[in-house]
Amino acid sequence: MAQTTALQKAWEAKGSPPCDHPHTEKEYASGMQTGDVVCTTCGAEFWRSKK
């Protein structure tokens, strides 16, 4: 979660340009999957089961 926040802040520092979220990874918290995925570019979080 801390990592996600850092990513989001860095993205905001760039002016929050539009992101297509080309690269996402499973999010982990304390070594356990949270069930979410996070964009490694802008730090946005998604639910994995996206329809």
Binding mask 8-47 for Zn ion (x = CB under 5 A): -----------x-x-----------------x-xx-x---
Taking the C-alpha atoms of residue 8 and residue 22, their distance in angstroms, rounded to an integer, is 15
CB of 21 to Zn ion, least distance (A): 4
CB of 30 to Zn ion, least distance (A): 24
Residue numbers of the site for Zn ion (CB under 5 A)?
A: 19, 21, 39, 41-42, 44
